[in-house]
Amino acid sequence: MWHDGHAVGRRTRPVGPLRRRQAALPPSPFAPIIPPAGCSIDGSEEHAGAPGGGGGVAWCVRATCRRVASNPKRRSEERLMQAGKALKEGGLFFRQWLRSPKSMGSVIPSSRALARAMGRAVRWRPGETVVELGGGTGAISKGLIEAGIPRENLLVIELDGELYQFLRKELEGVPVVQGDATRLDEILERQRVTRVSTVISGLPMVGMPESFKRAIVEQSFRAMGDDGLLVQYTYSPVPPIPTRPLGLRARLAAYVLRNVPPAAVWCYTRDAAARAERRLERAA
């Protein structure tokens, strides 16, 4: 109703199902956020009701972060992006497995649980390098980075050309080399890597010939020294690398059920007798 050019009467509100639907809608993360009374925008005053105080600016920032984090649409979009990325990685891994099943060992990438278990097994000190043999799609590499290995101190070696190109894009700031793991000496010399603390291997050792295993072990410990650590994961119930013929001692570090298939993490060090024999060889 109108009176003297002005609208009179109370504001109408939606009722019934429409009002209930509006009330159920989540707040938009882009809607303006107004700080409570007594909270100045320049941060000169603190508001007792704002957790942690900090004035209007701090209160608005915290409120915005909470709103974005609690927005179900945003969370749904993030989950879809993660699922799409995982599907892309899985498809690439599966294609490589179809092309060469023996060299891949599994049809899907390693799980985060296995990556974390490998990261916990690593031995590293500042200035040293951790070498990963067989980078795949980068699942283990990311676990090593999460464990605290700086990107510049990680060297990933991958033989397959398509996986190598994928890793270069996926692992920003990490040196990635396309090469044969049995020629580790040459790769390290080319990359000017002189101090290696741990060698991580995702290579399917169980199905490989004895000469292949010996080449990997000998060159790994030549780079690390007799105090080095070789960490190998496998889907086999038995140790993937023979110990006595290669002068090694094996320890089961973890068994990861949350992986398809379940995986065992083995840590290899030089046997004491093998160390003593090598010292005598050097002295001679």
Instruction: Give the architecture (CATH level 2) of 108-283.
Output: 3-Layer(aba) Sandwich (3.40)
112, burial (CB in 10 Å: exposed 0-12, middle 13-18, buried 19+): middle
- The one-character DSSP state at 50 is S
- Could you tell me the mean pLDDT of each successive run of 10 residues in the chain, 284 residues long? 49 55 52 52 44 52 59 59 52 57 61 96 95 94 96 96 93 97 97 97 91 97 96 93 95 95 96 72 67
**What does the pLDDT read at residue 40?**
47
3-state secondary structure of 39: coil
| Amino acid letter, 24 | A
**What does the pLDDT read at residue 220?**
97
**What does the pLDDT read at residue 134?**
93
Residues carrying CATH 3.40.50.150, the chain: 108-283
In whole angstroms, what is the distance from residue 166 CA to residue 198 CA? 24
